[in-house]
Structure 1
């Protein structure tokens, strides 16, 4: 009998991105009925529930890089679903949902709920709970990656 633990095979980054694309398509199919993509819905929901807030706070909470955040905010602003106002200090921008944005988010929330229920049915609720727990644990474990500091330091050295 072989008592060895299975060893990881393949690239974790590729597998996570592959799963991410499949899950994103699933949600996009449902949210498209409300005229939103999953990333837009997530961002708009965060602004509706936690706003008004500064872009840096939003990026941190959503764990988005600035370019992705800016692109998505630009789209939401063009649609009239958010506004960016000058913050209290005059230098920062505060992001706030408009009435149209709140209404769009409410409409999309029904679509999101259908997507979530469909995913739960396909995977099984117990598996979804287990998946969420694992993802939360892994996100926390990887968030403060000491190896990333070394990579950033090396990149800065090459750039200077």
Structure 2
């Protein structure tokens, strides 16, 4: 079929998908939230994704890469790529897993903790401002409903 002879989807179909698609709505909201928190975290040289990763590493025993990827909802290869700039900055270490030398674990460094203390304070202020913009109870209901997915 040539480009000049194909028929577009009916307008009603497009509007129905636009107005009802949960995936599209979640993607649009996620992008808006990501931009908002990327802006807040920019002075720390972090994206919102890197911030979430660093928060997840704030534990005494470093998690295996696979478990961390699952927690963050990422593919292990995507997580590996996200780790590289943070490791270069000395904010985290990539270590062999003592139980399985083929696997890797991630550990936050002292410099990473120092950065995260300041970044978490700014995140907290920005998050409180965001929740204050929403009707009462909306943020809690949204977290609950998203967790159900």
If the length of structure 1 is used for normalisation, what is the TM-score? 0.75
Higher relative contact order (CA 8 A, sep 6+): 1
In structure 2, distance between residues paired with 1:124 and 1:117: 13
Q: Which runs of 5 or more residues in structure 1 are unaligned?
A: 1-6, 140-160
Q: Which runs of 5 or more residues in structure 2 are unaligned?
A: 1-15
2:109 match: 98
1:53 paired with 2:63, answer yes
Q: Deviations over 1:90-149 (max 9, x none)?
A: 221111011111111111101110111111111134111111111111x2xxxxxxxxxx
- CA RMSD in angstroms, aligned pairs only: 1.8
2:97 match: 87
Q: How many residues align?
A: 132
2:10 match: none
1:67 match: 77
In structure 2, distance between residues paired with 1:58 and 1:15: 26
Q: Deviations over 1:66-99 (max 9, x none)?
A: 2321121112111110011111132211110111
Runs of 4+ in structure 1 over 4 Å off: none
